[in-house]
Amino acid sequence: MLQKKQPIALYAALLLLNAVAQSGPLFAQTIPSLRETFKNDFGIGTALNNAQIDERDPQMTAFIARQFNMATPENVMKSALLHPQWDTYDFTMGDKLIEFGKKHDIKINGHTLIWHSQLPGFIRGIHSKDSIQTFFTNHIKTVAGHYKGKVYSWDVVNEALNEDGTMRKSVFLQYLGDNFVTEAFRLAQEASPGTELYYNDYNNEQPKKRAGCIELVKKIKAAGVRIDGVGIQGHWHVGKIPLKDIEESILQYSALGLKVMFTELDIEVLSRNFQGADVGQRMTANAQSNPYPTALPDSVQQQLAADYEALFKLFLKHKDKVTRVTFWGVNDANSWLNNWPIRGRTSYPLLFDRNSQPKPAFYKVIATAK
């Protein structure tokens, strides 16, 4: 009897396994984990949006906790959201993120104290050096102070450089002069002494911008102020990953005694007529702007996989210098690239598809660790 029943039981078990394997996010629990795979190499991070921080979908929460050990808030710690009025701070969502991190053993990188973009509306009404200085000082002291001992690290200053390595003409440069970067680090260090402090930018692997970034770092250090690392955002384009510049940047930044991080990694597959990630730049839609509304052609999928593989091989080659690799979004559905530089496109820049299923790029990345 038993012998006859066994094959049926086995068959039933196989059917069940197959059903689980095809049933969306549950399947995600059976695939390899990025954080586990690279645990001896570098941290694996993701950007989290409101719904994810709010834990609105328990399967998504479980998925994030299994794949990532570091997280950056995609928006909720930007000054417009944390500091909506001159005297008003709203830490609700940021605090939820801190709880999320504690619960799921995920380190939080605060993003970002000083950035020319997503500033509170009231800044537009300020036209004096004193008031900008007061905002700058109060904002850093209050926010870094609030999250003291709670965030692992801060992107203290974000995107202060132009492509040619000169300082961007931001409201901070205009009113406070080019010392504002050093002063931001000084204030952050005072308000939150145990937190790692980083400068973050896009295209700072490119030679001219890198040179500007190195000057900034040297200036901060010469003033006796602490800076722990540089974030290279890593918003690149499929088939055009600047591997040589990236490797050169890892070497040059770490030669300054800095940790190197890839902080907003994604690989765009849709075309645009400029490089970088300046959110102020936009393009107008035309009939060709959204070429893959239902699926990514296999040739592009394979190129994306090859690009991610090459990048992770490089990161692993320099794992003694690279401390974190953070993807800018959990899956393709969450990516900012669905709405920038043109709204409403279907973009495929990450390792997981719109249902959090692994793409060929995911398996290529996992295989680099073997």
Active site amino acids:
159, 264
At its nearest, how many Å lie between ligand 9MR and the CB of residue 166?
19
User: CA 316 to CA 209: how far, in whole Å?
Assistant: 24
| Per rule CB under 6 A, count of chain residues that contact ligand 9MR | 10
At its nearest, how many Å lie between ligand 9MR and the CB of residue 336?
3
Nearest 10 degrees: CA dihedral of 47, 52, 58, 63? -10
At its nearest, how many Å lie between ligand 9MR and the CB of residue 75?
5
Tokens 């692992």 map to which residue? 152
User: What track of x and - describes contact with ligand 9MR for positions 228 through 267 (by CB under 6 A)?
Assistant: -----x------------------------------x---
Query: For ligand 9MR, which residue of 216, 225, 260, 277 counts as binding (CB under 6 A)?
Result: 277
Residue closer to ligand 9MR, measured from CB, 41 or 54: 54
**In sequence order, what E strands does the chain have?**
43-48, 70-73, 107-115, 153-158, 196-201, 229-232, 235-237, 259-268, 322-327
Residue closer to ligand 9MR, measured from CB, 185 or 336: 336
User: CA 339 to CA 8: how far, in whole Å?
Assistant: 51
Nearest 10 degrees: CA dihedral of 357, 290, 343, 94? 20
* DSSP SS3 for 58: helix
Cβ atoms of 203 and 163 closer than 8 Å: yes
Residue closer to ligand 9MR, measured from CB, 31 or 238: 238
Within residues 316-345, the interface with ligand 9MR by CB under 6 A covers: 336
Based on the shown chain and the rule CB under 6 A, indicate whether residue 38 belongs to the binding site for ligand 9MR.
no
User: CA 309 to CA 182: how far, in whole Å?
Assistant: 36
Residue closer to ligand 9MR, measured from CB, 235 or 364: 235
Cβ atoms of 204 and 186 closer than 8 Å: no
Query: For ligand 9MR, which residue of 12, 279, 285, 295 counts as binding (CB under 6 A)?
Result: 279
Query: For ligand 9MR, which residue of 117, 131, 137, 290 counts as binding (CB under 6 A)?
Result: 117
The encoded tokens of residue 93 equal 């969502």
Strand partners, 237: 268
At its nearest, how many Å lie between ligand 9MR and the CB of residue 285?
18
Nearest 10 degrees: CA dihedral of 227, 151, 206, 256? 30
Tokens 């040059």 map to which residue? 252
Residue closer to ligand 9MR, measured from CB, 179 or 339: 339
Residue closer to ligand 9MR, measured from CB, 305 or 337: 337
At its nearest, how many Å lie between ligand 9MR and the CB of residue 138?
21
Q: How many CA atoms lie within 13 A of 164 on its CB side?
A: 2
User: CA 150 to CA 343: how far, in whole Å?
Assistant: 35
User: CA 191 to CA 199: how far, in whole Å?
Assistant: 17
Query: For ligand 9MR, which residue of 23, 29, 118, 174 counts as binding (CB under 6 A)?
Result: 118
Residue nearest to ligand 9MR (CB): 336
At its nearest, how many Å lie between ligand 9MR and the CB of residue 159?
6
At its nearest, how many Å lie between ligand 9MR and the CB of residue 220?
20
Within residues 49-88, the interface with ligand 9MR by CB under 6 A covers: 74-75
Q: According to DSSP H, which parts of 113-240 are helical?
A: 129-146, 171-176, 180-191, 207-222
User: What track of x and - describes contact with ligand 9MR for positions 155 through 184 (by CB under 6 A)?
Assistant: ---x--------------------------
Within residues 131-160, the interface with ligand 9MR by CB under 6 A covers: 158
Residue closer to ligand 9MR, measured from CB, 162 or 302: 162
| Residue ranges binding ligand 9MR (CB under 6 A) | 74-75, 117-118, 158, 233, 264, 277, 279, 336
